[in-house]
Structure 1
Amino acid sequence: MQTEDLYTPSSKMLIYSLIAEAGSITKAELQHKTLIKSSTLTRLLDEMLEQHLIEAADLGPSRGGRRPILYRITPDYGYIFGLEVSRIHSSLGLFDMQLNPKSLIHWHMDEGMTPERFKEYVLRHMRMFLRDHQIAPERIQGLGIGAVGPLNRSTGTILNPQYFPARGWSDVPICQWFQEETGFRTILENGVNSALIGEQWSLRHENIQHVLYVHAGVSLRSAMMSHGRIVHGAMDMEDAIGQMIVQAGGLRLNNTGNYGALEAYASIEAMEQKAQSDAKMGRALFRQQKELPPEQINFDVLIQALKASEPYAVELFSQSASYFGIGLSNLIHIFQPEKVILGGALIHSNTMYYNTAIQIAAANTGYNAQYKPQFTKGQLMEAASVTGAALHLRNSIEL
């Protein structure tokens, strides 16, 4: 096979990405991975060293001759902001080029967190982060955003997502807003895709090629990665998993979507509605309910009841987890991933939910003894989406 004699901007980005993924790597290893001609690769590396994109980190072990140079990306060449826009909690992070977090903040999305207030809150903390680390705005490479869909990624717009506590989250030109306010290049991706990008980065040394990520929270969302690439559908509908039918002719959430859809049994919205309905019918759910109107029984109340081992709450979460496990097993049958990463408020709410879900999923995907997908909550967990958003921005930089 012929090696590449001329290099292009895409060649430089390929080398940069390989160095970043490896942490540190020799020229010989880069040549083996890329098949770029030795002299061409040397010129490319020298140019990247001169630009301070990369640096000589150390010397590798000798294989009989001179010890080879280990290259790594320069962490403080620039910095990247990552932003997660979600219904329960949102996050903002400042990262160096190696994706090390310099500052990270999470906050609750309440009824007062309108898009305008959200924008001002984020801008205030962006300025605070820069001041704390004494970083000039000119050193920021951009802002990556991972947001609840549906989205128009090409225009950078959040379209019409459901279940935000605050009003106004429709047709929000979020990329335009932040680009005009900061001057930073801004790109948008679905939040569940961003979470998968972030978790895959944290697992990159395991060399896993097929990964499924499922988010269980106010709604149900999923993303799939194959050979390092996000699988985008024709309509790019991250919440399609919620419309998977798990009980023919069954419940329907908010009089929309399919009857018997998974979201009607295994989402926070469904759990809140069931608890409120049972309370209105006079059922005594748990002790603290006595002075609480049914319409005020929300996820926070249910979580507290679960922590107190209230039988109703235990039953509610267990049933939700069981349905979620059934839906998860269906996805596993379709995509056959090596690793399944679960995230979202329901997954992180209680160990019982996660354990029940994966037990049900595993029991319904065990027909082939040679295929046993691994289940995990991931390594980044609540920081997955914001980290993935920053990484998505870094991967789009023109070097």
Structure 2
Amino acid sequence: MNSASRLPTSKELIYYHIAEQGVVSKAELQDRFRIPSSTLTRTLEEMTADGLIRASGLGPSSGGRRPILYETDPGYGYFFGLEISRFHSSLGLFDVRMNPKSFTRWRMDEAMTPERLIAHAGHNIKAILYDHKIEPSQVRGIGIGAVGPLDRERGVILEPLYFAAPGWEDVPICRMAEEATGFRAQLENGANAALMGERWALRASNPQHLLYMHAGVGLRSAMMSNGRIVHGSIDMEGAVGQMIIQADGTRLQEGGNFGALEAYASIQALEKQARSLAKLGRGGWTDQLRLAPEQIRYEDLLQALREGHPSAVELFDSAAAYLGIGLANMINLFHPETVILGGSLIYSDERFYRAAIDAARQHVYYYPAYQPVFTKGELREDAVATGAALMMWRSMEI
């Protein structure tokens, strides 16, 4: 809600309940919150006058007068959600019902420094508001979901790895966004933001315990318990990639753990393995791709996979098996009811996704008595920006 340090007000509880349900009658609200009828009537009138909610018609009669139905007013305000990732970034505009009004996406190339990204986002924000005839005063804030590690309280991106452009260390991204746009900004790590977005999309089934794993350039994870994101004492969303799955194994980079999951199940790991094989003249990579070993990129491997190249199939199948082992370790620790998988590796090929979840099931304790639901989610590539905007929506003043 507005603050984690206090209990929500009755007005906030009512508003967010209406938002999650879509359309609600006064009788339903009274049954849920046990508020005196006169108090509830006054609260609903105030919220209607403030533009938070509006009457949306009449419900079916149960013998007397037909009840007034209430819904959130979509014109109360708008929110931007900005995703900052290693391969691409995206910007979305949402109304208070979290309906996407606009989405734009761009690649994070060698020129996309923090300053360039904020300037690009600011330009797009102005164009989006102009196209939708929305005044800047109607925008309630911009949420930012970014690759970690982060200092969420200060709104700073600390020392992320693998950005193509320089300058991504100790970036005061919230201050930069506020100065460029004039909107209040708030920072969350991308995995948490994605999980928030996906939980909102799944709200009809009301899952309470969820695990999110993003497999791309690196590995990121997030967890939700009793419907709330679990934050650690520090923000290190990429730490799941350092889970040791082979004690005498290799490591992906200097400073990383030997035998860490990211060394076997990430885009960088696939590229590194293919280049090593090509240098040894194994796997037919040089003949197949007609590239020097150091020129082999993930896109080349993905094309080889889709063409059924045996070495590519073996490479991706091995990575999927290792990812499944890492997933099983997380599942055995936290026992989620739903496991959401995202990221470029997951979306690359259905075979990879299936192999990963099959491997996870084989190592889940108490399977098949305990069977978490595996899914790619509802929002997929839009999950981070949606969750970032949702964070701002939940923190607005009511």
Number of residues paired by the alignment? 391
Give the Cα separation in 2 of the matches to 1:369 and 1:358.
Answer: 13
Task: Please list the CA deviations of residues 126-181 of structure 1 after superposition, one character each: whole Å capped at 9, or x if unmatched.
Answer: 11100110111010011011000000101111111000111111111110011111
Gaps of 5+ in 2: 1-6
Query: Compared with structure 1, are the counterparts of its residues 54 and 294 closer, same or farther at alpha carbon in structure 2 (3 Å cutoff)?
Result: same
The alignment partner of 1:105 has SS state of: strand
Give the Cα separation in 2 of the matches to 1:174 and 1:197.
Answer: 20
Matched with 2:289 is 289
Give the CA deviation at 1:220: 0.7
Conserved in 1, the CA contact under 8 Å of 2:286 and 2:293? Answer: no
Give the CA deviation at 1:34: 2.1
Conserved in 2, the CA contact under 8 Å of 1:216 and 1:343? Answer: yes
Give the Cα separation in 2 of the matches to 1:35 and 1:175.
Answer: 40
Give the Cα separation in 1 of the matches to 2:276 and 2:169.
Answer: 28
Matched with 1:173 is 172
Give the Cα separation in 1 of the matches to 2:380 and 2:191.
Answer: 12
Matched with 2:333 is 334
Conserved in 1, the CA contact under 8 Å of 2:150 and 2:158? Answer: yes
Matched with 2:64 is 65
Query: Compared with structure 1, are the counterparts of its residues 274 and 227 closer, same or farther at alpha carbon in structure 2 (3 Å cutoff)?
Result: same
Matched with 2:357 is 358
Q: CA RMSD in A?
A: 1.4
Give the Cα separation in 2 of the matches to 1:289 and 1:116.
Answer: 36
Give the Cα separation in 2 of the matches to 1:175 and 1:187.
Answer: 6
Task: Please list the CA deviations of residues 198-217 of structure 1 after superposition, one character each: whole Å capped at 9, or x if unmatched.
Answer: 00000001021111111011
Instruction: State how 1:1-399 maps to structure 2 within 5 Å.
Output: 10-283=9-282, 284-285=284-285, 287-290=287-290, 292-365=291-364, 367-399=366-398
The alignment partner of 1:385 has SS state of: helix
Give the CA deviation at 1:288: 4.4
Give the CA deviation at 1:116: 1.5
Give the CA deviation at 1:52: 0.9
Between 1:345-354 and 1:240-249, the stretch displaced more is 240-249
Aligned-partner residue type, residue 206 of structure 2: N
Give the CA deviation at 1:31: 2.2
Task: Please list the CA deviations of residues 245-270 of structure 1 after superposition, one character each: whole Å capped at 9, or x if unmatched.
Answer: 11112111112222111111001111
Give the CA deviation at 1:115: 1.2
Q: Give the structure-2-normalised TM-score.
A: 0.95
The alignment partner of 2:340 has SS state of: strand
Conserved in 1, the CA contact under 8 Å of 2:346 and 2:352? Answer: yes
Identity of counterpart residues, as a percentage? Answer: 58
Give the Cα separation in 2 of the matches to 1:111 and 1:278.
Answer: 27
Conserved in 1, the CA contact under 8 Å of 2:177 and 2:185? Answer: yes
Q: Which runs of 4+ in 1 moved over 4 A?
A: none
Give the CA deviation at 1:297: 1.0
Give the CA deviation at 1:46: 0.6
Give the CA deviation at 1:44: 1.1
The alignment partner of 1:204 has SS state of: coil
Give the Cα separation in 1 of the matches to 2:274 and 2:136.
Answer: 48
Conserved in 2, the CA contact under 8 Å of 1:286 and 1:312? Answer: no
Task: Please list the CA deviations of residues 294-343 of structure 1 after superposition, one character each: whole Å capped at 9, or x if unmatched.
Answer: 22211112111112211111111110000000000111111101110000
Conserved in 1, the CA contact under 8 Å of 2:278 and 2:286? Answer: no
Conserved in 2, the CA contact under 8 Å of 1:286 and 1:310? Answer: no
Give the Cα separation in 2 of the matches to 1:112 and 1:310.
Answer: 34
Matched with 2:3 is none
The alignment partner of 2:79 has SS state of: strand
Give the Cα separation in 1 of the matches to 2:128 and 2:361.
Answer: 43
Give the Cα separation in 1 of the matches to 2:280 and 2:9.
Answer: 63
Q: Give the structure-1-normalised TM-score.
A: 0.95
Gaps of 5+ in 1: 1-7
